[in-house]
A and B are shown apart, each in its own frame.
Chain A
Amino acid sequence: MYKATVIIKTRPDILDPQGKAAEQGAKLLGFTNVSKTRIGKYVEFFVNSSNRSDAESEVKEYSEKLLSNPIMEDFEFELEEVNEA
Protein backbone atom coordinates (compact mmCIF):
# COMPACT_ATOMS: atom_id res chain seq x y z
CA MET A 1 0.00 0.00 0.00
CA TYR A 2 1.24 3.44 -0.91
CA LYS A 3 0.20 6.91 0.07
CA ALA A 4 0.44 9.44 -2.75
CA THR A 5 0.57 13.20 -2.42
CA VAL A 6 0.15 15.19 -5.60
CA ILE A 7 0.83 18.89 -5.96
CA ILE A 8 -0.72 20.66 -8.95
CA LYS A 9 0.63 24.03 -9.98
CA THR A 10 -0.66 26.51 -12.52
CA ARG A 11 1.96 26.88 -15.21
CA PRO A 12 4.13 29.99 -14.84
CA ASP A 13 2.91 31.57 -18.09
CA ILE A 14 -0.77 31.26 -17.08
CA LEU A 15 -2.53 34.05 -15.23
CA ASP A 16 -3.51 33.05 -11.69
CA PRO A 17 -6.25 35.47 -10.61
CA GLN A 18 -6.64 33.68 -7.26
CA GLY A 19 -2.99 34.12 -6.41
CA LYS A 20 -3.16 37.74 -7.46
CA ALA A 21 -6.19 38.37 -5.21
CA ALA A 22 -4.56 36.63 -2.24
CA GLU A 23 -1.49 38.76 -2.70
CA GLN A 24 -3.57 41.92 -2.70
CA GLY A 25 -4.92 40.76 0.66
CA ALA A 26 -1.39 40.08 1.86
CA LYS A 27 -0.39 43.64 1.00
CA LEU A 28 -3.38 44.97 2.94
CA LEU A 29 -2.27 42.95 5.94
CA GLY A 30 1.15 44.49 5.75
CA PHE A 31 3.13 41.58 4.29
CA THR A 32 5.27 43.87 2.19
CA ASN A 33 7.95 41.25 1.50
CA VAL A 34 5.54 38.81 -0.15
CA SER A 35 5.52 38.52 -3.93
CA LYS A 36 4.53 36.19 -6.79
CA THR A 37 1.82 34.30 -4.89
CA ARG A 38 0.57 31.30 -6.91
CA ILE A 39 -2.25 29.05 -5.74
CA GLY A 40 -2.34 25.38 -6.69
CA LYS A 41 -3.88 22.16 -5.40
CA TYR A 42 -2.81 19.47 -2.98
CA VAL A 43 -4.32 15.99 -3.38
CA GLU A 44 -3.64 12.90 -1.30
CA PHE A 45 -4.87 9.35 -1.73
CA PHE A 46 -3.87 5.73 -1.21
CA VAL A 47 -2.92 3.24 -3.91
CA ASN A 48 -3.44 -0.42 -3.23
CA SER A 49 -0.40 -1.84 -4.93
CA SER A 50 2.40 -4.14 -3.85
CA ASN A 51 5.14 -2.55 -5.88
CA ARG A 52 6.32 1.01 -6.28
CA SER A 53 6.57 1.19 -10.06
CA ASP A 54 2.94 0.08 -10.56
CA ALA A 55 1.81 2.58 -7.95
CA GLU A 56 3.82 5.28 -9.63
CA SER A 57 2.31 4.72 -13.05
CA GLU A 58 -1.18 4.71 -11.56
CA VAL A 59 -0.61 8.01 -9.77
CA LYS A 60 0.83 9.49 -12.94
CA GLU A 61 -2.10 8.39 -15.08
CA TYR A 62 -4.67 9.64 -12.54
CA SER A 63 -2.87 12.98 -12.36
CA GLU A 64 -2.60 13.35 -16.12
CA LYS A 65 -6.11 12.21 -16.97
CA LEU A 66 -8.16 13.87 -14.28
CA LEU A 67 -6.39 15.73 -11.48
CA SER A 68 -4.55 18.17 -13.74
CA ASN A 69 -5.06 19.72 -17.14
CA PRO A 70 -1.73 19.63 -18.99
CA ILE A 71 -2.57 22.75 -20.99
CA MET A 72 -2.46 24.93 -17.90
CA GLU A 73 -1.04 22.86 -15.05
CA ASP A 74 2.04 20.88 -14.04
CA PHE A 75 2.05 18.28 -11.30
CA GLU A 76 4.56 16.54 -9.09
CA PHE A 77 3.99 13.71 -6.64
CA GLU A 78 5.50 11.72 -3.81
CA LEU A 79 4.87 8.12 -2.86
CA GLU A 80 5.29 6.72 0.60
CA GLU A 81 4.96 3.06 1.47
CA VAL A 82 2.47 2.52 4.31
CA ASN A 83 1.08 -0.52 6.10
CA GLU A 84 -2.60 0.32 5.71
CA ALA A 85 -4.86 3.11 4.57
Chain B
Amino acid sequence: MKPKFGIVEFPGSNCDHDAYYAVKKVLGYDAEFLWHKETSIKNSDVIILPGGFSYGDYLRTGAIAQFSPVMEEVVNFANNGGIVIGICNGFQVLLELGLLPGVMIQNEKLKFICKDVFLKVNNRETTFTNKIDKEIIKIPIAHGEGNYFADDETLKSLKANNQIVFEYVNENGDVDEKSNPNGSKLNIAGIINKQGNVLGMMPHPERACDSILGNTDGQQIFNSIVSSLELV
Protein backbone atom coordinates (compact mmCIF):
# COMPACT_ATOMS: atom_id res chain seq x y z
CA MET B 1 0.00 0.00 0.00
CA LYS B 2 1.21 3.48 -0.82
CA PRO B 3 2.04 5.68 2.17
CA LYS B 4 -0.47 8.45 2.63
CA PHE B 5 0.42 12.09 3.23
CA GLY B 6 -2.28 14.16 4.95
CA ILE B 7 -1.95 17.83 4.02
CA VAL B 8 -3.59 20.23 6.45
CA GLU B 9 -5.34 23.22 4.91
CA PHE B 10 -5.88 26.32 6.98
CA PRO B 11 -7.63 29.41 5.67
CA GLY B 12 -4.69 31.22 4.08
CA SER B 13 -2.53 28.17 3.35
CA ASN B 14 -1.13 28.57 -0.15
CA CYS B 15 1.42 25.80 -0.58
CA ASP B 16 -1.06 23.01 0.13
CA HIS B 17 -1.56 22.24 -3.56
CA ASP B 18 2.17 22.40 -4.25
CA ALA B 19 2.74 19.81 -1.52
CA TYR B 20 -0.07 17.62 -2.88
CA TYR B 21 1.32 17.87 -6.40
CA ALA B 22 4.85 17.02 -5.24
CA VAL B 23 4.01 13.94 -3.18
CA LYS B 24 1.19 12.59 -5.34
CA LYS B 25 1.81 13.59 -8.94
CA VAL B 26 5.58 13.76 -8.94
CA LEU B 27 6.55 11.10 -6.40
CA GLY B 28 3.52 8.85 -6.77
CA TYR B 29 2.54 8.53 -3.11
CA ASP B 30 -0.99 8.82 -1.79
CA ALA B 31 -2.15 12.24 -0.56
CA GLU B 32 -5.28 13.78 0.89
CA PHE B 33 -6.20 17.27 2.04
CA LEU B 34 -7.30 17.71 5.64
CA TRP B 35 -9.50 20.78 6.08
CA HIS B 36 -8.70 22.59 9.33
CA LYS B 37 -12.24 22.06 10.65
CA GLU B 38 -12.04 18.30 10.41
CA THR B 39 -11.42 16.31 13.55
CA SER B 40 -9.72 13.31 11.96
CA ILE B 41 -6.46 12.92 10.12
CA LYS B 42 -8.03 10.11 8.07
CA ASN B 43 -5.40 7.41 8.59
CA SER B 44 -2.58 9.51 7.23
CA ASP B 45 0.90 8.04 7.63
CA VAL B 46 2.54 11.45 7.48
CA ILE B 47 1.22 14.94 8.18
CA ILE B 48 2.34 17.96 6.17
CA LEU B 49 1.67 21.44 7.58
CA PRO B 50 2.11 23.49 4.42
CA GLY B 51 3.33 27.02 3.79
CA GLY B 52 1.20 30.10 3.44
CA PHE B 53 -0.33 32.70 5.70
CA SER B 54 -2.71 30.79 7.93
CA TYR B 55 -5.39 33.10 9.34
CA GLY B 56 -3.66 35.99 7.60
CA ASP B 57 -0.69 35.54 9.96
CA TYR B 58 -2.67 37.79 12.32
CA LEU B 59 -1.36 38.19 15.86
CA ARG B 60 1.77 36.11 15.16
CA THR B 61 2.60 33.68 12.36
CA GLY B 62 0.98 30.32 13.08
CA ALA B 63 -0.57 31.57 16.33
CA ILE B 64 -4.23 31.02 15.50
CA ALA B 65 -3.76 27.93 13.32
CA GLN B 66 -2.51 25.97 16.32
CA PHE B 67 -6.05 25.95 17.75
CA SER B 68 -7.80 24.65 14.62
CA PRO B 69 -9.90 21.54 15.36
CA VAL B 70 -7.76 19.21 13.22
CA MET B 71 -4.64 20.20 15.13
CA GLU B 72 -5.72 18.34 18.24
CA GLU B 73 -5.44 15.10 16.28
CA VAL B 74 -2.18 16.22 14.68
CA VAL B 75 -0.68 16.87 18.12
CA ASN B 76 -1.85 13.47 19.38
CA PHE B 77 -0.39 11.87 16.28
CA ALA B 78 2.96 13.64 16.83
CA ASN B 79 3.04 12.79 20.52
CA ASN B 80 2.55 9.14 19.62
CA GLY B 81 5.53 9.19 17.27
CA GLY B 82 3.69 10.08 14.04
CA ILE B 83 5.74 11.83 11.38
CA VAL B 84 4.96 15.53 10.97
CA ILE B 85 6.71 17.95 8.64
CA GLY B 86 6.01 21.68 8.88
CA ILE B 87 7.17 23.75 5.95
CA CYS B 88 7.52 27.54 6.26
CA ASN B 89 4.22 28.62 7.84
CA GLY B 90 3.90 25.00 8.99
CA PHE B 91 7.19 25.37 10.85
CA GLN B 92 5.83 28.52 12.50
CA VAL B 93 2.72 26.59 13.59
CA LEU B 94 4.91 23.84 15.12
CA LEU B 95 6.81 26.48 17.10
CA GLU B 96 3.61 28.09 18.36
CA LEU B 97 2.32 24.66 19.37
CA GLY B 98 5.51 23.98 21.28
CA LEU B 99 6.16 20.78 19.32
CA LEU B 100 9.47 22.42 18.42
CA PRO B 101 11.37 24.92 20.55
CA GLY B 102 11.90 28.61 19.73
CA VAL B 103 10.03 31.33 17.82
CA MET B 104 10.11 33.00 14.43
CA ILE B 105 10.54 36.76 14.21
CA GLN B 106 10.66 39.10 11.23
CA ASN B 107 13.58 38.81 8.86
CA GLU B 108 16.41 40.98 10.08
CA LYS B 109 16.26 43.20 6.99
CA LEU B 110 12.43 43.26 7.00
CA LYS B 111 12.24 42.11 3.38
CA PHE B 112 10.19 39.20 2.13
CA ILE B 113 12.83 36.91 0.59
CA CYS B 114 12.09 34.55 -2.27
CA LYS B 115 15.14 32.77 -3.67
CA ASP B 116 17.09 29.53 -3.81
CA VAL B 117 19.36 28.88 -0.83
CA PHE B 118 21.96 26.25 -0.07
CA LEU B 119 21.42 24.05 2.95
CA LYS B 120 23.93 21.96 4.77
CA VAL B 121 22.41 18.66 5.85
CA ASN B 122 23.95 18.17 9.27
CA ASN B 123 22.34 14.96 10.18
CA ARG B 124 21.64 12.43 7.44
CA GLU B 125 20.35 9.73 9.72
CA THR B 126 16.98 11.24 10.56
CA THR B 127 13.51 10.22 9.41
CA PHE B 128 13.60 13.18 7.04
CA THR B 129 17.13 12.99 5.65
CA ASN B 130 18.17 9.33 5.36
CA LYS B 131 17.80 9.32 1.56
CA ILE B 132 19.71 12.56 0.98
CA ASP B 133 22.83 11.59 -0.94
CA LYS B 134 24.83 14.81 -0.62
CA GLU B 135 25.95 17.17 2.05
CA ILE B 136 24.60 20.35 0.47
CA ILE B 137 21.19 20.70 -1.15
CA LYS B 138 19.53 23.62 -2.89
CA ILE B 139 15.96 24.51 -1.87
CA PRO B 140 13.97 27.74 -2.32
CA ILE B 141 12.82 29.94 0.55
CA ALA B 142 9.90 32.39 0.48
CA HIS B 143 9.17 34.15 3.73
CA GLY B 144 9.05 37.43 5.61
CA GLU B 145 9.31 35.93 9.08
CA GLY B 146 11.93 33.23 9.05
CA ASN B 147 14.32 34.68 11.59
CA TYR B 148 14.65 31.79 14.03
CA PHE B 149 15.17 32.79 17.64
CA ALA B 150 15.72 30.71 20.77
CA ASP B 151 17.60 31.46 23.99
CA ASP B 152 21.18 30.29 24.39
CA GLU B 153 20.25 27.32 26.50
CA THR B 154 17.79 26.02 23.90
CA LEU B 155 20.33 26.54 21.11
CA LYS B 156 22.91 24.63 23.07
CA SER B 157 20.57 21.71 23.62
CA LEU B 158 19.51 21.70 19.93
CA LYS B 159 23.18 21.44 19.02
CA ALA B 160 24.05 18.84 21.62
CA ASN B 161 21.19 16.58 20.50
CA ASN B 162 21.99 16.98 16.81
CA GLN B 163 18.55 18.53 16.18
CA ILE B 164 19.73 21.24 13.79
CA VAL B 165 19.15 19.33 10.59
CA PHE B 166 19.49 22.15 8.04
CA GLU B 167 21.72 25.21 8.16
CA TYR B 168 21.93 28.08 5.65
CA VAL B 169 25.33 27.89 3.96
CA ASN B 170 27.07 29.08 0.83
CA GLU B 171 27.72 26.87 -2.18
CA ASN B 172 30.83 25.44 -0.54
CA GLY B 173 29.06 24.57 2.66
CA ASP B 174 30.47 27.36 4.82
CA VAL B 175 28.16 28.47 7.61
CA ASP B 176 28.70 32.23 7.52
CA GLU B 177 26.79 35.42 8.08
CA LYS B 178 26.60 36.18 4.38
CA SER B 179 24.66 32.99 3.66
CA ASN B 180 22.20 33.66 6.46
CA PRO B 181 19.24 35.17 4.57
CA ASN B 182 17.10 36.25 7.51
CA GLY B 183 19.18 36.63 10.67
CA SER B 184 18.35 33.20 12.14
CA LYS B 185 20.35 32.13 15.17
CA LEU B 186 23.14 29.73 14.18
CA ASN B 187 21.97 29.93 10.52
CA ILE B 188 19.13 27.57 11.45
CA ALA B 189 16.90 26.61 8.52
CA GLY B 190 15.33 23.46 9.95
CA ILE B 191 15.18 21.52 13.22
CA ILE B 192 13.72 18.28 14.48
CA ASN B 193 12.34 17.45 17.91
CA LYS B 194 14.29 15.27 20.32
CA GLN B 195 12.29 12.18 19.41
CA GLY B 196 13.07 12.79 15.74
CA ASN B 197 9.52 12.49 14.37
CA VAL B 198 8.73 16.20 13.89
CA LEU B 199 10.61 18.45 11.45
CA GLY B 200 10.17 22.17 10.89
CA MET B 201 11.93 23.89 8.00
CA MET B 202 11.60 27.32 6.39
CA PRO B 203 12.76 26.26 2.88
CA HIS B 204 10.19 24.65 0.57
CA PRO B 205 11.18 21.12 -0.54
CA GLU B 206 7.84 20.73 -2.34
CA ARG B 207 8.92 23.50 -4.73
CA ALA B 208 12.01 21.53 -5.66
CA CYS B 209 10.51 18.21 -6.76
CA ASP B 210 9.39 18.45 -10.35
CA SER B 211 12.34 18.19 -12.75
CA ILE B 212 10.65 20.66 -15.08
CA LEU B 213 11.49 23.31 -12.48
CA GLY B 214 15.18 22.49 -12.76
CA ASN B 215 15.78 21.27 -9.23
CA THR B 216 14.72 18.00 -7.60
CA ASP B 217 16.64 18.17 -4.33
CA GLY B 218 13.37 18.38 -2.40
CA GLN B 219 12.36 14.88 -3.52
CA GLN B 220 14.97 13.35 -1.24
CA ILE B 221 13.24 14.69 1.86
CA PHE B 222 9.89 13.10 0.99
CA ASN B 223 11.63 9.89 -0.11
CA SER B 224 13.48 9.79 3.20
CA ILE B 225 10.19 9.98 5.07
CA VAL B 226 8.73 7.13 3.04
CA SER B 227 11.81 5.00 3.48
CA SER B 228 11.65 5.42 7.25
CA LEU B 229 7.96 4.44 7.20
CA GLU B 230 8.92 1.24 5.43
CA LEU B 231 11.43 0.42 8.13
CA VAL B 232 8.79 0.42 10.83
Contact = CB atoms under 8 A, between A and B. Distances in A.
Given A14-B105, A15-B147, A15-B183, A69 B110 contact: no
Interface string A39-69: 0010000000000000000000000001101
B103 A21 contact: no
A72 B103 CA distance: 7
A71 interface: yes
A9 to B, nearest CB: 13
Given A14-B105, A66-B59, A72-B103, A21 B147 contact: no
A14 B108 contact: no
Nearest to A21: B110
B105 A67 contact: no
Contacts of A35: none
Interface in B30-81: 59-60, 63-64, 67
Interface residues of A, number: 11
B82 interface: no
A17 B183 CA distance: 11
A17 B108 contact: yes
B149 interface: yes
A37 interface: no
Contacts of A71: 102-103, 149-151
A17 B103 contact: no
Contacts of B63: 66, 69
Interface residues of B, number: 19
B103 A69 contact: yes
A14 B110 contact: no
A18 B59 CA distance: 14
Interface in B68-121: 96, 102-103, 105-110
A71 B60 CA distance: 12
Nearest to A68: B60
Interface of A: 14-15, 17-18, 21, 41, 66-67, 69, 71-72
Given A17-B106, A18-B106, 5 more contacts: A14-B149, A15-B147, A17-B109, A66-B59, A71-B150
The 10 closest A-B pairs by CB, nearest first: A17-B106, A71-B103, A72-B103, A17-B110, A21-B110, A69-B60, A69-B103, A17-B108, A15-B105, A14-B149
